[in-house]
Amino acid sequence: MENNRIALYTRVLQQQYDAVALADSADRLAETVAGQRREIDRLRADLDAAAARHAREVEALQQETGQLRELLNRRFWPQLAAMLNDFGRTTSELRKRTTHP
């Protein structure tokens, strides 16, 4: 009977040791998970900030494109049309000279 009592007591001690080891392991795992969640939150915040910067850059580029398009329409296209008209008149005159000596 004494041997059974010692065996049972030894088994209880081993189970207590195993329980403490599992609790320590669970604590380390919980700390790891918490650290990973913090890292995910930080990365999401960085991503949100980058997306906001990107959106501002896109908006600025769209505004600049609109301004350039307006400038081209106001200045370049009328000049180009005048140049094309001059070119057309010049080529017409050259054709007249070469076909009617």
Mean of pLDDT values over 16-42: 97
In this predicted structure, the answer to whether residue 28 has a pLDDT above a threshold of 80 is: yes
In this predicted structure, the answer to whether residue 83 has a pLDDT above a threshold of 90 is: no
b/e map 59-83, b = 16+ CB within 10 Å: eeeeeeeeeeeeeeeeeeeeeeeee
Distance CA 14, CA 26 (A): 18
Position 100 scores a pLDDT of 60
Global pTM reads 0.54
The conformation of residue 1, written as its DSSP 8-state character, comes to: -
Position 93 scores a pLDDT of 82
